[in-house]
Amino acid sequence: MVKQLLAGFVLLLSTLTVRAELVVEVTQGVDAPSPVAIVPFDWSGSALSEDVAKIVSDDLGRSGFFKMMPRENMLSTPHERSQVFFRDWRISNNDYIVIGRLIPAANGQITATIELYDVLKEQLVWSETVNGNSSNLRDVAHYIADQVFQQLTGIKGAFSTRIVYVTAEMLGKDKYRYRLQMADSDGARPRTILESKEPILSPTWSKDGSKLAYVSFESTRPSIYVQHLATGQRQRIQSFKGLNGAPAWSPQGDRLALVLSKDGNPEIYVLTLATGQLDRLTRHYGIDTEPTWSPDGESILFTSDRGGMPQIYSLHLPSRDLKRLTFEGKYNSRGRLTQDGRFLTMVHQDSDGFHIAVQDLKSGRVDILTSTGLDESPTIAPNGSIILYATKKGGRGVLAGVSLDGRVRFTMPNTQGDVREPAWSPFLQ
Amino acid sequence: MRVSNVTKAVSLALSVAWIVGCSSPSTLSDEDTSSSTADGSASTYGTGSGNGVNGSGAGGSVDVANLQTVFYFDFDTSSVRNDSIADLEAHAQYLSMNPTAAVRVEGHADERGTREYNMALGERRAKAVERFLAVNGVSAGQVESISYGEEKPAMMGSDDSSLSQNRRVELKYVSR
């Protein structure tokens, strides 16, 4: 009981920290982001645990598509159409305004009515009534942000998704604490899924978002586990001699690509989960690792040093044709594809370190998106808008985000220990 | 030169074997005490670990006198360095003369580069040491190599000195 309370307290603390420290930095204004004002929502009951309008505003601001109006600059705080003076919002250069009211309903429920207006046309763009309660106001806020995002960009919002990541702390000589954590897409509400004295790495989501696969050294050797998120139940699915690593779920959800070195050196295998059948895909004395699937499930991309230095290759499964994808620079590894299969994000080394880069597979153009020198583990939001990755700040591991065009960057706060290996969930039901 | 090195290694190994032979019971109990204390304090967390997760140092390591047990590697390489050879030969001598002794060979990488790739690099280093031991007469059953990649740094920090101390293989004697 005490433990639970304590856990709740810690959770609350870190939640607060997250919101206090999230820093969004818009680096280059290539196309001007659309200015939007999210007016604080009306609420007459006792103090709420969350500031819903602020969460909506932070979500949209982090996407890079919008320039959010600071609250202190608002001349008025309307909650209904009749209170909106469009001229005021035009003078303060807003294209859109979101207003709303939260109303207490029966059984502790809260009903939120939200309206999005086009300031120039003075027209209602979208309105919805959302039901929630005082304990899930963050879900309500992320839902509203998703709807506004989709209305204004035409792209499905991904704020209601989740991220997992690993934290590590060195407690003393040969003493470490590793945690697998899950949080909202904005880093809030972190909770521990697994904790161990031995390393945890390479978490990856099943395509339906119900399971995670990861590598854990808890038996003092690396093994691959699959954990059901709802029940916490898990299975050890692979534990050969040598490496058992880098699991990656097929888009159909029935197979896992992974790395085993049981036959001498690291090779890519595909495990069919229902039957346990293991197919070896690569045969090379070099290192083959970090598999990832193409969205159609037809190809597996992986890192290999068969050419001397690590580069990313693509293996077409039906034909077994192998193609090298990366040629720029001497080190390109751990690729991840956007949902449309067009852009490959990866870790790219140049003269001043390891950066996140994106390659347009159609044109071959490579853009280096980050300027810090120890960047790794890129993971793409399911709507393709943002890449989240791990970097170092002040000697500690933190998570940071960058848009695919490099225009927007933000740093997630460092909560405890070294944070690394973010993995963005798919859209969740 | 070569001969004298080998002679030195053999005589060192012999004396090591003798020292170990005499002192291993007390060493083992020391190790057991300290590792169980460590486990005791850590078991308060351990969500889902289940089967008595042990630290890598647990299990009663043998104090092989003054021999080096940590061997360093140059950046992006997995070849055993010249300054490691004498002590590795001595370990090999000890292991081949004590067929019941067993060793865990733990490979590590520095933080540069991606994690799973570094896992593979750490394994290459561990395997290089494992091969070195095999060539020097140690039977395969006595050696288990394992890679931790960059997950268990000896030193936190990104300066050159930390990085060079993290590119390593550690030999750990285990009880069977």
- Selected residue of B47, B114, B165 to mutate for chain A interface (largest A Cβ count, 10 A): B114
Say if B166 falls within a structural domain: yes
What does the alpha-carbon distance between residue B3 and residue A347 come to, in Å, rounded to a whole number?
Answer: 47
Work out the angle at residue A275's Cα, subtended by the Cα atoms of residues A273 and A278, and round it to the nearest 5 degrees.
Answer: 75
Let me know: does A85 contact A168? Beta carbons within 8 Å: no
Chain B, nearest residue to A392 by Cα: B158
Tell me whether A351 touches chain B (CB under 8 Å): no
Each residue's pLDDT tens digit, A97-124? 999 999 998 888 999 999 999 999 999 9
Residue A325's pLDDT is: 98
Each residue's pLDDT tens digit, A158-210? 999 999 999 999 888 888 999 999 999 999 999 999 999 999 999 999 999 99
- Selected residue of B53, B61, B119, B148 to mutate for chain A interface (largest A Cβ count, 10 A): B119
pLDDT band for position A4 (cuts 50, 70, 90): very low
Residue A23's pLDDT is: 57
Residue A59's pLDDT is: 94
pLDDT higher than 90, residue B109:
yes
Give me the mean pLDDT over the A347-355 stretch.
95
Q: What number of H helices and E strands is found in chain A?
A: 4, 30
pLDDT higher than 80, residue B101:
yes
Residue B62's pLDDT is: 42
Which residues in B lie closer than 8 A to residue A196 (C-beta atoms)? 46-47, 49, 53
Task: Enumerate the domain spans of chain A.
Answer: 32-153, 162-424
pLDDT higher than 60, residue A18:
no
Tell me whether A218 touches chain B (CB under 8 Å): yes
Say if B64 falls within a structural domain: no
Each residue's pLDDT tens digit, B126-158? 999 999 999 999 999 999 999 999 999 998 888
Each residue's pLDDT tens digit, B74-94? 988 899 999 999 999 999 999
Angle between helices B2-42 and B82-97 (to 10 degrees): 80
pTM: 0.84
CB-based contact B53 A354, cutoff 8 Å? no
What domain count does chain B have?
Answer: 1
The string of DSSP codes covering B98-141 is -TT-EEEEEEE--SSS-HHHHHHHHHHHHHHHHHHHHHTT--GG
Computed over every residue of chain B, the mean pLDDT equals 72
How far, CA to CA in Å, does A321 sit from each of A254, A339, B11? Answer: 22, 22, 56
Place of tokens 């998106």: A369
Which residues in A lie closer than 8 A to residue B42 (C-beta atoms)? 175, 197
Q: Which of A313, A316, A263 is nearest to A288 (CA)?
A: A313
Query: Which range of residues forms the domain containing residue B82?
Result: 70-174
Element (H, E) at A83: none
Dihedral-angle region of residue A49 (phi above 0 means left; psi in -120 to 50 means alpha; beta otherwise): alpha
Say if B12 falls within a structural domain: no
pLDDT higher than 50, residue A16:
no
pLDDT higher than 90, residue B2:
no
Which residues in A lie closer than 8 A to residue B117 (C-beta atoms)? 287, 289-290, 303, 310, 333-334
Say if B62 falls within a structural domain: no
Q: What CATH number was assigned to the domain covering residues A32-153? A: 3.40.50.10070
Q: What's B168's domain CATH number?
A: 3.30.1330.60
Tell me the β-bridge partners of A245.
A259
How far, CA to CA in Å, does B106 sit from each of A37, B127, B147? Answer: 56, 9, 6
What does the alpha-carbon distance between residue B18 and residue A349 come to, in Å, rounded to a whole number?
Answer: 50
pLDDT band for position A48 (cuts 50, 70, 90): confident
Say if B127 falls within a structural domain: yes
Say if B76 falls within a structural domain: yes
Say if B82 falls within a structural domain: yes
CB-based contact A242 B123, cutoff 8 Å? yes
Interface of B with A (CB under 8 A): 38, 42, 45-51, 53-57, 111-117, 119-121, 123-124, 144-149, 151-153, 156-158
Residue A31's pLDDT is: 67
Chain A, nearest residue to B42 by Cα: A197
**Alpha-helix runs per DSSP H in A77-193:** 86-91, 137-153
Over the range A43-69, which residues count as b (16 or more CB within 10 Å of their CB) and which as e? beeeeeebbbbbbbbbbbbbbbbbbbb
**Domain A162-424, CATH number (from 1.10.10.10, 2.40.240.10, 2.120.10.30, 3.30.950.10):** 2.120.10.30
pLDDT higher than 50, residue B36:
no
State how beta strands A34-38 and A66-68 pair: parallel
Let me know: does B64 contact B42? Beta carbons within 8 Å: no
What does the alpha-carbon distance between residue A201 and residue A290 come to, in Å, rounded to a whole number?
Answer: 12
Chain A, nearest residue to B113 by Cα: A354
Each residue's pLDDT tens digit, A127-144? 999 999 988 999 999 999
Q: How many CB atoms lie within 10 A of CB B66?
A: 11
